[in-house]
Amino acid sequence: MMKNGGLREYRSASWDEPVVMELGYPGRRGMVFGEVDAAIAAKVGAAEALLPAAMRRRRPPALPELSEPEVLRHYLHLSQQTLGMLGVNLFGTCTMKYNPRAGEAVMARPQVAETHPLQHADTLQGTLELVHGFDLILRELSGMDRFVFQAAGGADAAYTHACVTRAHLAARGELGKRDEIVTTIQTHPCNPATAATAGFKVVTLMLDERGYPSLDALKAALSDRTAALMVNNPDDMGIYNPEIKEWVRLVHEAGGLCFYDHANFNGVMGKLRARELGFDACMYMLHKTFGAPKGGGGPAVGAYGCTAELARYLPGPVVAFDGAKYRLDSDRPDSLGKVREFWGNVPQVLKAYAWARAMGAEGIHEASDLSVLANNYMEKKLLAIRGVTKSNPHIDAWRMEMTRYSLGVLKEDTGVGVADMQHRMVDFGVDAPWLSHEPWLVAEPFTPEAGEMWSKEDIDYWIAALARVSEEAYRDPEIVKTAPHNQSIAKIRTDGLEDPERWATTWRAYRRKHRKA
């Protein structure tokens, strides 16, 4: 994105687009369904008489009345008022990567889009073959024995693990006795949250000066109450815990299961396997690492894989293959039940399959190479920017696919913090970077992740944008503090958002609270 060596003069479209509830004209139609067949009407009569009187709708819903092209144009305007990765987007922890449109085009066809999950397996042999094929690919990447795709996101896969743990403990008569799940403060919040939702107590280990918790801290946390360890590695700071094998050994020794949250798989894929590190189960996000689109937050898939020992607890149905035919096996008495209806966000699984086939073993190896190379390249250049430091600065090693940085110095010097920086970055067509999950362990954190898709020029552009923000902060901080300047709308007011008298999640509530007249 370099233009004469400088930053682009990005300007967002600004349509001043009204809320759809204000648009339209009474009587206008965007979709009609036609008159019901005369023979049908003659046989059954009016619809009204076919429904219990008490349950009929009396007042029509106050929806807008628009023609079809008006609806299309309205939502096209909204899409244009969304920066949405049309520039450079290095949103860390989410592994922004290319979503191949070949996958989009194929999965939009009726062979996928117009299929029903309860169709007889004989009529879904193509889908089942690809799902099974992808299971085999993930088995090879992880060393696990079986994957399922029912979990509708990474957090749902973490929840799946918590539920597998329950089923495993129940089978051993230890449910209710082993009631603690151990995690680390740098592990994604969905791990402690899903563990707690599944009924476990959560023990969170803090980091020591090396950037990960000590073995002593782990040992102190383990006991005959330990149900499982849920942990990521490397973490979002780009630090790999080299003692992880010993962690797994200790947790197993205490009688717990070990779950590898592979959210940060991009830097290690093809380089190591969860099974060889000793883990019992792991999770991949197909909408991150495996090229399926994110959709602004789903439909997503958390692919959950485990050892043969745990496979009997998996949510069903699972795909079975007898060498000639595929079928769905629902007859699994030890199964934990279900975490979501049906067997998964199938098109996303198939898109991930397509991505993995396009990449192959060589491409996947190359992608982790490029991710780690690009991150360390970025790190060198970002640390040269005034006011930027990194987490655990004394750790001298090359980082993995991400590094966590801090604008603490910049904030101290200029008053400009990460939120201001985000608002200014978008003015250059760069999506705001991820900051950090809570709690913030470094002041004013931010976490870019270069991944394998972005070109060196894109990365240089991103660095140049941050350099400009720093330069502005020291020269004229008001430019940054009053940003954004080139977006569809100005900065929002947040003071009413937490106020029950003022918040409004619907137009109806907004009208009542704010437009009383």
Map the footprint of other proteins across residues 3-32, applying CB under 8 A. 12, 17, 19-21, 24, 27-32
Nearer to other proteins, 166 or 312 (CB): 166
Q: What binding mask, one character per residue, do residues 348-367 give for other proteins by CB under 8 A, x or -?
A: xxx---xxxxxxxxxxxxxx
The answer to whether 325 contacts other proteins (rule: CB under 8 A) is no
Nearer to other proteins, 124 or 306 (CB): 124
- The dihedral built from the CA positions of residue 416, 420, 421 and 424, taken in this order, carries a sign that is negative
The footprint of other proteins on residues 90-119 (CB under 8 A) is: 91, 94, 96-100, 102, 104-119
Residue from 184, 207, 284, 291 in contact with other proteins (CB under 8 A): 291
- Distance between CA 43 and CA 46 in Å, rounded? 9
Residue from 505, 515, 516, 517 in contact with other proteins (CB under 8 A): 505
CB 269 within 8 A of CB 234: no
Nearer to other proteins, 335 or 414 (CB): 335
Nearer to other proteins, 277 or 413 (CB): 277
**Which secondary-structure segment (H or E) carries 413?**
helix 408-414
The answer to whether 120 contacts other proteins (rule: CB under 8 A) is yes
In 10 A of CB 241, how many CB atoms?
A: 20
The footprint of other proteins on residues 134-173 (CB under 8 A) is: 137, 140-141, 152-156, 158-159, 163, 166, 170
The footprint of other proteins on residues 204-243 (CB under 8 A) is: 204, 234, 239-240, 242
The span of 304-312, 333-341, 385-393, 470-478 binding other proteins (CB under 8 A) equals: 333-341
The answer to whether 393 contacts other proteins (rule: CB under 8 A) is no
The answer to whether 66 contacts other proteins (rule: CB under 8 A) is yes
Nearer to other proteins, 104 or 471 (CB): 104
Q: What CA–CA distances, in Å, run from 374 to 93, 210, 263, 398, 400?
A: 15, 23, 18, 11, 10
- Name the minimum Å distance from CB 195 to other proteins: 7
Number of residues that bind other proteins (CB under 8 A): 222
The answer to whether 71 contacts other proteins (rule: CB under 8 A) is yes
423: phi > 0 → left, psi -120 to 50 → alpha, else beta; which? Answer: alpha
- Name the minimum Å distance from CB 402 to other proteins: 12
- Distance between CA 41 and CA 47 in Å, rounded? 9
- Name the minimum Å distance from CB 480 to other proteins: 13
- Name the minimum Å distance from CB 197 to other proteins: 5
Nearer to other proteins, 330 or 412 (CB): 330
Measured over all CA atoms, what is the biggest interatomic distance in the chain, rounded to whole angstroms? 82
- What residues have CB less than 8 Å from 403, skipping those under 6 apart? 237, 238, 375, 378, 379, 382, 390, 391, 447, 448
CB 17 within 8 A of CB 77: yes
The answer to whether 320 contacts other proteins (rule: CB under 8 A) is no
The answer to whether 124 contacts other proteins (rule: CB under 8 A) is yes
With the CA atoms of 352, 354, 358 and 360 taken in that order, what torsion angle do they form, in degrees rounded to the nearest 10?
60
Residue from 11, 172, 386, 456 in contact with other proteins (CB under 8 A): 456
The answer to whether 387 contacts other proteins (rule: CB under 8 A) is no
The span of 1-9, 194-202, 252-260, 403-411 binding other proteins (CB under 8 A) equals: 194-202
The answer to whether 414 contacts other proteins (rule: CB under 8 A) is no
- Distance between CA 20 and CA 214 in Å, rounded? 54
- Name the minimum Å distance from CB 31 to other proteins: 4
Amino acid in position 41: A
Nearer to other proteins, 305 or 484 (CB): 484
Residue from 281, 374, 410, 480 in contact with other proteins (CB under 8 A): 374
- Distance between CA 98 and CA 267 in Å, rounded? 16
Nearer to other proteins, 158 or 258 (CB): 158
Listed in order, strand segments (DSSP E) in 391-461 are 405-406, 445-446
- Distance between CA 207 and CA 212 in Å, rounded? 4
Residue from 221, 318, 372, 469 in contact with other proteins (CB under 8 A): 372
Amino acid in position 64: P
Query: Which residue is listed with tokens 């939502």?
Result: 75
The distance in angstroms from the start CA to the end CA of the chain is: 49
- The dihedral built from the CA positions of residue 192, 195, 196 and 197, taken in this order, carries a sign that is positive
The footprint of other proteins on residues 256-285 (CB under 8 A) is: 268, 270-273, 276-277, 285
* Cis peptide upstream of residue 64 (ω within 30 degrees of 0): no
Tokens matching residue 51: 């429904």
Residue from 6, 9, 11, 51 in contact with other proteins (CB under 8 A): 51
- Name the minimum Å distance from CB 475 to other proteins: 22
Nearer to other proteins, 97 or 468 (CB): 97
**Helix residue ranges, H only, 240-328:** 244-254, 308-311
CB 403 within 8 A of CB 238: yes
- Name the minimum Å distance from CB 138 to other proteins: 10
Residue from 5, 61, 323, 333 in contact with other proteins (CB under 8 A): 61
Tokens matching residue 245: 């094998």
- Distance between CA 425 and CA 89 in Å, rounded? 10
